[in-house]
């Protein structure tokens, strides 16, 4: 059964869990809003990630995801039932997300038919498989396949998009002024952590060496971004770096405030993690240092992106912790990344 916009007064969209995936799914939110201009669309998203999507024109309200506890599921059920949703679109793949949506009273659910949850769904695409399992495709296209299955017209050139409202813009301006960042400064952001796990992280001493090269040859200031639990890796960067870097840890930059800060950067250098997708959304050139992850999942909208990768036999493994010597990352030198940054900046002029 396909989606009939005339039958939908209220739609729930279960957003992905990871920051980067939430951003890569923004063309889906855009598509749903375009086809349901009068409907109430509810974003079901983790509380800490709500700031990614706030200020956008796609959602009328948000409900926090908490399906790890019985109390959390009951709260979700109570809040969603108050909106009386007619249908839901799941951008998550788990059986749990389908079960909780049914428990919350939503009977018409669309999403990928996988993880044994097909009987719970009203319909949805099936991922392409080969002898090795599901064939990797860019996550942006993966999510949009749900819209295509629903017979919705998708954007001709889909691209992640994020929004910054007036209040957030003022917060961002104040934060930049606090850090002493002027309009004339050429600002490079570095993001040495990764909430997924240490397997995605380039060595801290390499980031320190790179920051020194950037300050000497490319820019006037380097700002270091970090998320919860990434304080130690940032400290290692600062300990190894002989130059002065802007440390944002004390201000606990949330995912909303991160938007105007990344937008202000002239270049971002990062592991394969959420902020790289912020950069794409804001047309900020970005160098991505990639090791354990499969580049096919993010192979879209790369016009201002350079992926630095050294193929090794065990990569991609998608493990959170490297079981060997982390060759996929240690073989990438600061010189490799600096050269990639120089070339990208020249290409983006």
pLDDT tens digit sequence for 40-93: 999 999 999 999 999 999 999 999 999 989 999 999 999 999 999 999 999 999
- pTM here? 0.96
pLDDT in tens, 23-34: 999 999 999 999
- Domain 5-149 matching CATH 3.40.50.2000: the answer reads yes
Tell me, what's the pLDDT at 94? 95
CA 81 to chain centre: 29
As a whole number of angstroms, the distance between CA 43 and CA 60 comes to 8
- The segment(s) of the chain belonging to CATH 3.40.50.2000 are 5-149, 167-347
As a whole number of angstroms, the distance between CA 265 and CA 281 comes to 13
As a whole number of angstroms, the distance between CA 281 and CA 259 comes to 10
If DSSP codes are grouped into helix, strand and coil, which group holds residue 134?
Answer: strand
Kindly indicate the confidence band of residue 1, based on its pLDDT and cuts at 50, 70 and 90: low
For 105, 205, 263, the CA distances from 214, given in Å and listed in that order, are: 54, 14, 19
If DSSP codes are grouped into helix, strand and coil, which group holds residue 285?
Answer: coil
As a whole number of angstroms, the distance between CA 209 and CA 205 comes to 6
As a whole number of angstroms, the distance between CA 312 and CA 292 comes to 10
| CATH superfamily of domain region 167-347 | Glycogen Phosphorylase B; (3.40.50.2000)
Kindly indicate the confidence band of residue 175, based on its pLDDT and cuts at 50, 70 and 90: very high
Q: Please name every residue paired with 222 in a beta bridge, in sequence order, or none if there are none.
A: 188
Residue 336: DSSP 8-state: H
The pLDDT of 260-268, averaged and rounded, is 98
């Amino acid at each position: 059964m396909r989606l009939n916009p005339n039958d939908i007064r209220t739609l729930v969209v279960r957003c992905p869990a990871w920051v980067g995936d939430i951003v890569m799914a923004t063309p889906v939110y855009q598509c749903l809003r375009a086809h349901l201009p009068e409907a109430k669309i509810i974003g079901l998203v983790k509380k800490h990630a709500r700031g990614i999507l706030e200020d956008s024109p796609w959602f009328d309200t948000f409900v926090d995801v908490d399906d790890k506890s019985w109390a959390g599921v009951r709260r979700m059920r109570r809040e969603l039932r108050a909106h009386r949703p007619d249908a839901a679109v799941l951008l998550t793949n788990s059986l749990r997300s389908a079960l909780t949506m049914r428990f919350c009273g939503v009977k018409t659910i669309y999403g990928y038919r996988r993880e044994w949850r097909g009987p719970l769904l009203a319909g949805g695409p099936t991922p392409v498989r080969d002898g090795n399992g599901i064939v990797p495709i860019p996550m942006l296209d993966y999510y949009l396949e749900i819209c295509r299955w629903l017979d919705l017209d998708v954007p001709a050139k889909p691209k992640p998009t994020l929004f910054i409202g007036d209040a957030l813009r003022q917060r961002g301006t104040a934060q930049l002024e606090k850090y002493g960042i002027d309009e004339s400064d050429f600002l490079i952001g570095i993001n040495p952590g990764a909430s997924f796990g240490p397997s995605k992280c380039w060595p801290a001493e390499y980031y320190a060496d790179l920051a020194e090269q950037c300050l000497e040859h490319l820019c006037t200031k380097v700002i270091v971004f970090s998320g919860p639990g990434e304080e130690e890796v940032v400290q290692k960067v600062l300990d190894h770096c002989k130059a002065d870097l802007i440390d944002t840890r004390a201000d606990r930059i949330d995912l909303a405030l991160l938007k105007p800060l990344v937008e202000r950067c002239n270049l971002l250098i990062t592991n394969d993690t959420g902020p790289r997708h912020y950069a794409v959304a804001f047309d900020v050139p970005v160098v991505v240092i990639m090791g354990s992850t499969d580049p096919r999942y993010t192979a879209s909208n790369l016009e201002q992106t350079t992926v630095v990768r050294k193929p090794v036999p065990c990569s991609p493994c998608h493990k959170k912790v490297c079981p060997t010597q982390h060759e996929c990352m240690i073989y990438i030198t600061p010189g490799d990344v600096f050269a990639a940054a120089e070339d990208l900046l020249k290409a983006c002029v």
